[in-house]
Amino acid sequence: MARISFDFRFLLIPAAFMFIYLQMRLFQTQSHYADRLGSAIESENHCTSQMRALIDEVSIKQSRIVALEDMRNRQDQELVQLKDLIQTFGRKGLAKLVEGGQTPLAAVVIMACSRADYLERTVESVLKYQSPVASKYPLFISQDGSNQAVKSKALSYNQLTYMQHLDFEPVVTERPGELIAYYKIARHYKWALDQLFYKYKFNRVIILEDDMEIAPDFFDYFEAAASLMDRDRTIMAASSWNDNGQKQFVHDPYALYRSDFFPGLGWMLKRTTWDELSPKWPKAYWDDWLRLKENHKGRQFVRPEVCRTYNFGEHGSSLGQFFSQYLEPIKLNDVKVDWKAIDLGYLTEGNYTEYFSDLVRQAQPIQGSDLVLKAKNIKGDVRIRYKDQAEFERIAGEFGIFEEWKDGVPRTAYRGVVVFRIQTTRRVFLVGPDSVVQLGIRKS
């Protein structure tokens, strides 16, 4: 057999190519991993920088937290000191209350905040008539906040007990644009009334504001009202205020009325009523809340014809609303009425409807246009029917009395009837569409 010869040198050529190819692939792989390694190192450096920045930021925030904790601790210490001071004054006040050995008829609290000059005027007016009956009507000032001028003024009187409401909880309004003041006022009222009813154990409280003066018979009036409220549980509160109490609309300092509309501005309530109201007290607008039918539940309020308080507060949380038209012209009673000699039995639920119905029934009905002129030309009381709120507002505007309604009730109204004087002695009755039925008056 012939021998085949093969030159293995020919294999070196493809092997060389294969070696070159493998070296190129190896170089490419090394370059790829080198790039990835570079990116990883760069990312690591970036993360390290970010971590250092975060550590620095955390350190700064920790320093701030420590500073805030120190501030909070200082505030807590100050609060403890203030509470101790308040309790000291409270103990002194309680000692004063029991000195005479007489059970107080009602506490009197002046609600204050930041108007030291107004507060002084109010306190001086109250002390003028309260001093002779101080054992019956212990006087308190409840301050909301830490205004130093108000606090100093309150503490300058040794005839009263000072309370301070310190509220650090942020206020969150329910609607945009609302004044925070109305929320803080509601909180202050709840706190003060809780203190007076549950800490000091009073059975009744008379609430005044720091921009009021009182009449000479203020305390006698509320003593008579307290007796009336004890007899008649359908009276939710007694007020010293008449919304239509301007000089031109009042005459008789002895006249009292029942109303479905809460008057406020110098009023008295009992602890049993507060037991009901305190757990559901509103976040704001407490006075309008009391005017809701769901809260007064068919009960009524006693009010005078001639006011026993005068509101001089042109500047305050309400921004002087209605002051020049409705508040400034208010007539403050200047007659010392002997309320103990007057039988107020006609104001009880069983008697008042009949009493008031007779007054309305005897009034001469008028209608049509020029109602003010017609009323002035008639000798005696008159009554005017209105069919709805719009017509009431038109008629009220003609006479110049309050046009406002709350929850379907005009200010001062009883069974939809609003009464005021015109030309001194004569009464005008604005009678609602359902009033004649509620009062049992024959339509005419």
Question: Residue 287 and residue 24: Cα distance in Å, rounded?
Answer: 91
The pLDDT of residue 101 is: 61
Task: Output 279 or 36, whichever has higher pLDDT.
Answer: 279
Same domain for 398 and 313: no
What own/partner pairs with CB < 8 Å and gap ≥ 24 does 7-12 have? none
Mean confidence (pLDDT) of the chain: 88
Looking at residues 376-392, what average pLDDT do you find? 96
Within 13 Å of residue 433, how many CA atoms lie on the same side as its CB?
Answer: 7
Question: Residue 120 and residue 78: Cα distance in Å, rounded?
Answer: 27
Looking at residues 351-369, what average pLDDT do you find? 96
113 found inside a domain: yes
The one-character DSSP state at 87 is H
220 found inside a domain: yes
pLDDT band at 53 (very low <50, low <70, confident <90, very high): confident
CA distances from residue 2 to 5, 8, 13, 145 in whole angstroms, order as listed:
10, 19, 27, 124
22, 30 contact by CB (below 8 A): no
Same domain for 131 and 234: yes
Same domain for 286 and 372: no
Q: Which residues pair with 299 in a beta bridge?
A: none
Domain hosting residue 147, numbered range: 88-335
The pLDDT of residue 8 is: 59
User: What CATH number did the domain enclosing 256 receive?
Assistant: 3.90.550.10
pLDDT band at 252 (very low <50, low <70, confident <90, very high): very high
Looking at residues 55-62, what average pLDDT do you find? 74
143, 113 contact by CB (below 8 A): yes
Same domain for 424 and 325: no
Whole-structure pTM value = 0.79
173, 181 contact by CB (below 8 A): no
User: What CATH number did the domain enclosing 435 receive?
Assistant: 3.10.180.20
Same domain for 133 and 229: yes
383, 360 contact by CB (below 8 A): yes
287 flagged as catalytic: yes
Dump pLDDT digits (tens) for 96-138. 554 556 789 999 999 999 999 999 999 999 999 999 999 999 9
Same domain for 212 and 126: yes
Same domain for 331 and 369: no
Task: Output 18 or 439, whichever has higher pLDDT.
Answer: 439
CA distances from residue 378 to 252, 255, 271, 374 in whole angstroms, order as listed:
20, 22, 46, 7
Same domain for 310 and 377: no
- The vertex-183 CA angle with 178 and 184, nearest 5°, equals 130
Please identify which of the residues 232, 252, 260, 287 carries the catalytic annotation: 287
384, 420 contact by CB (below 8 A): no
Same domain for 131 and 175: yes
Encoded amino acid at 336, one letter: K
